[in-house]
Amino acid sequence: MSLIALGVTGGISAYKSVEICRGLQKRGHDVVAVMTRSATRFVGPLTFEAITHRPVVTSQWTRGANASIEHIALASDIALLLVAPCTADVIGKFAHGIADDFLSSMYLATQAPVLLAPAMNVNMLAHPAVQQNLSTLAGRGVRFVDPDEGYLACGWVGKGRLAEPEVVVAAADALLAPADRASLRGRHIVVTAGPTYEDLDPVRFLGNRSSGRMGFAVAAEARSRGARVTLVAGPTRVDPPVVDTLVRVRGAAEMHAAVMAAAGDADAVVMAAAVADYTPAQTASGKIAKTPGPMTLTLERTRDILADLGALPSRATGVPVLVGFAAETGDPVASGRAKLTRKRVDLIVANDVSRPDAGFDVETNAVTLIAADGDTALPLQAKRGVAVEVLDRVEALVSRHPIAGGV
Ligand code: CTP
């Protein structure tokens, strides 16, 4: 358990800090809220006082306490200074060493890691002054949780919205001493992500709309829990997170080979990739030229990676733990449950990809976790939040087995 100072500054999204505070507490951390004067216009300090069970720092000049030196005491006690939301004004103060309130003084006084979750209007964020301040702070080791793109309170659409609370919480948790949270240390987790491209000829392929974000979120979460992570990723536009081994593949056959090779000493394999079920029977060596009339393609089945993992002899003792994803447009739970049995896996993460806010190429997901002992429907949330829930299940499942790689 670590003491985290949660700085709240004056942005519309200040109300989301309440959820961030709860999320940090849920992960076992102690939180002290430090609010700027303008933050108190958006959320009442009493709200934070009630949930943190600590006095809320709102001013440098509180009477009766040694408030003017309190920022020094608190600054040395905390394991992390998290500011969410962090306005352009506070970013500017931090970058220039201005210490005219408790939060900005504490920033200068603390030696703890600093994590900022900026939130502001899209044009303010893009302004060279703000960008310069952000890069000054990054150069000093300050870490950031990137704002999301979307509808902003000011009516604009663009980048600048505070990242989802669970994303901020996961980033904060990951920055804390790894020793406190290495619940998967010594474990090897293999994660797949993204689409596969099945080549028709040198310029055309059959692909799908998977962005890779869900698998990347699972890989990042596994690594932040101390696991050794092998990420097998199809072609994606989104950058993968930092992992121990990144294997880039293109087609389903290549992904099959990479996963089977990595699975040898894996404690768990999470198949979040959208693997093609069919591939062209032949890949033309030259570009296929058009001919009059329709064209018929002959496709053949790819090998089912998850089913082949489910048939491994070691699965008799439940090793490796297997997690499959089911992308459905019908009833995700019924067909997810069928997949659980057919592919002999421990957990199916089923989602309805016909929803515009879940599944392919969006930041959020609404899934149902399906296991032998029942179903759990999770609310719509950031993919990192879904990854946290999936990893909680994986952690419980792998803890039943000795470490597979014997590390
Ligand atoms: N998968 C796999 N190998 C394949 C195809 C899929 O390992 N060749 C994995 C996916 O990564 C995912 C799970 O299987 O974890 C479910 O994929 P999906 O295509 O939805 O399942 P299918 O069994 O092919 O179901 P359907 O009959 O709906 O096509």
Minimum mean pLDDT among 16-20, 21-25, 86-90: which range?
21-25
CATH of the domain at 243: 3.40.50.10300
Last residue of a domain, one of 176, 198, 222: 176
Q: Which atom of ligand 1 is nearest to the CA of 343?
A: 23
Evaluate whether residue 212 is within a structural domain.
Answer: yes
Mean pLDDT over 173-185 rounds to: 73
**405 Cα–ligand 1 center, Å:** 27
289 and 241 in a common domain: yes
Last residue of a domain, one of 130, 147, 176: 176
* Per-residue pLDDT, 157: 77
Evaluate whether residue 231 is within a structural domain.
Answer: yes
Helix (H) or strand (E) holding 280: strand 278-280
Contact 326, 332 (CB under 8 A): yes
CA atoms within 13 A on the CB side of 339: 25
Q: What are the CA-CA distances from residue 285 to residues 48, 199, 302 (Å)?
A: 65, 10, 20
Residue nearest to atom 9 of ligand 1 (CA): 306
216 and 74 in a common domain: no
256 and 333 in a common domain: yes
Amino acid at 374: G
Evaluate whether residue 141 is within a structural domain.
Answer: yes
Contact 245, 202 (CB under 8 A): no
Residue 236 sits at the vertex; the CA angle it makes with 235 and 242, to the nearest 5 degrees, is 105
* Per-residue pLDDT, 407: 44
Q: What percent of the chain has pLDDT over 90?
A: 72
Last residue of a domain, one of 176, 196, 219: 176
Minimum mean pLDDT among 197-211, 221-235, 359-373: which range?
359-373
Q: Does the pTM of the predicted model rise above 0.85?
A: no
* Per-residue pLDDT, 239: 85
* pLDDT over 60 at 377, yes or no: yes
**Number of domains comprising the chain:** 2
Residue 188 sits at φ, ψ, to 5 deg, of -110, 120
* Per-residue pLDDT, 74: 84
Q: Print the domain residue range for 282.
A: 188-398
198 and 75 in a common domain: no
* Per-residue pLDDT, 87: 97
93 and 18 in a common domain: yes
Evaluate whether residue 391 is within a structural domain.
Answer: yes
Residue 372 token pair: 């032998």
* Per-residue pLDDT, 111: 86
Strands 148-151 and 157-161: antiparallel
Residue 131 sits at φ, ψ, to 5 deg, of -60, -40
170 and 61 in a common domain: yes
pLDDT single digits (tens) 95-119: 999 999 999 999 999 988 999 999 9
Evaluate whether residue 37 is within a structural domain.
Answer: yes
CATH of the domain at 37: 3.40.50.1950
3-class secondary structure, 321: strand
Rg (CA), the chain: 24
Residue nearest to atom 3 of ligand 1 (CA): 304
Q: Which atom of ligand 1 is nearest to the CA of 324?
A: 15
268 and 202 in a common domain: yes
Amino acid at 214: M
Q: What are the CA-CA distances from residue 373 to residues 132, 272, 274 (Å)?
A: 53, 21, 26
214 and 340 in a common domain: yes
Evaluate whether residue 181 is within a structural domain.
Answer: no
Contact 318, 346 (CB under 8 A): yes
Q: What are the CA-CA distances from residue 192 to residues 221, 231, 235, 306, 383 (Å)?
A: 14, 6, 11, 11, 15
* pLDDT over 80 at 1, yes or no: no
Residues with a CB atom less than 6 Å from ligand 1: 252, 271, 273, 275, 277, 302, 304-306, 324-327, 339
26 and 150 in a common domain: yes
Q: Which atom of ligand 1 is nearest to the CA of 302?
A: 8
Mean pLDDT of the residues in the chain? 91
212 and 169 in a common domain: no
pLDDT single digits (tens) 261-307: 999 999 999 999 999 999 999 999 999 999 999 999 999 999 999 99
**274 Cα–ligand 1 center, Å:** 7
* pLDDT over 90 at 174, yes or no: no
